[in-house]
Amino acid sequence: MANNTTTTLGQFEASFANFPILKIDPKDVFGSWKSFLNKFSLALKYQVIAAGKTTTTNGSTSNTTNNFTEDMKVLSLLNSIGEEGLRVLESQGMDFDQPGLTYNEVLTALKNHYGREDSLNIRVHKFVHVYQVSGEDTRDYLCRVEHLSRSISVFKCGDHADLGITNAGQITAANKLGDRIREILTITAVVNGIRDAKLRKELMAKENLKWDQLCKIISTRGTADDSNAKLDRH
């Protein structure tokens, strides 16, 4: 029998610190849930790999199992969703003492509650009316607008059957056009919503501004502001 080191109770409890905590933004329930789920999934993959596997051999038959067990996955998720998430599960009639409760059962119940994406009209409304809020770092604002633009399916050109676009060449061309339109509108939204009037005026004066150029300008400006802030504190 070949046996890797199993996950001890102490190691399992310590692993909780590696998982994110669910924090739902009432203004962006789907977005904050999706962000949490992405982070949790990555943390879970790491824990499964770090815990290793155990291989047992019985004659000519061998069986390999993950040391980070199904019960550990369930408990990690329940711990990460906090009281709010637990109340959501309880409202759906979930019994936490149910024998054999699986990770997929818990995850599916949470997705049914938090995973309902806003309608296209709402997503477009949020994108069109996006502005940098007071105290928000300009680089964070840039990422937020870019995230909003990617949530609008009209820019995603994956299915063109209704438009008569069927061959690979046409689909590739349509995808490039969709990407370029999204880039132009995202740049416009970023510039229009920036609080710094001087920076906004500077960006508006630039012809054929590309996304990578905008990112570089804002990143450079942000780095300079950070440096000035540090000097002011000394």
Question: Which tens digit of pLDDT belongs to each residue from 52-93?
Answer: 888 888 777 778 888 888 999 999 999 999 999 999 999 999
Residues 12 and 106 in one domain: yes
Type of residue at 158: G
228: region left, alpha or beta (phi > 0 left; psi from -120 to 50 alpha) = alpha
Domain range enclosing 60: 2-114
Tokens of 196: 């710094």
20 pLDDT more than 80: yes
Total residues found in the chain within this entry:
234
Residue 9: per-residue pLDDT: 60
DSSP states along 175-206: HHHHHHHHHHHHHHHHHHH-S-HHHHHHHHT-
Residues 99 and 13 in one domain: yes
Pair 127, 64 in one domain? no
Residues 73 and 141 in one domain: no
Q: What is the pLDDT of residue 129?
A: 92
Cβ-based neighbours of 153, under 8 Å, separated by 6 or more: 120
How open is the CA angle 117-120-125, to the nearest 5 degrees?
Answer: 105
Global confidence as pTM: 0.60
Domain end among 67, 87, 114: 114
**Mean pLDDT of all residues belonging to the chain:** 83
Residue 171: half-sphere exposure toward Cβ, Cα within 13 Å: 10
Do 104 and 200 fall into the same domain? no
Report the number of distinct structural domains present in the chain.
Answer: 2
* 94 and 179 part of one domain: no
- The single-letter code of the amino acid at 213 is Q
- In this structure, the strands spanning 2-3 and 61-66 are unpaired
- Please count the CA atoms within 13 angstroms of the CA of 42 that sit on its side-chain side: 7
| 148-152 LR contacts (CB < 8 Å, sep 24+) | 148/123, 148/189, 149/182, 149/185, 149/186, 149/189, 150/182, 151/31, 151/117, 151/118, 151/123, 151/127, 152/120, 152/123, 152/124, 152/127, 152/182
- The confidence score (pLDDT) of residue 38 equals 94
74 and 170 both lie in a single domain: no
Residue 187 pLDDT greater than 70, yes or no: yes
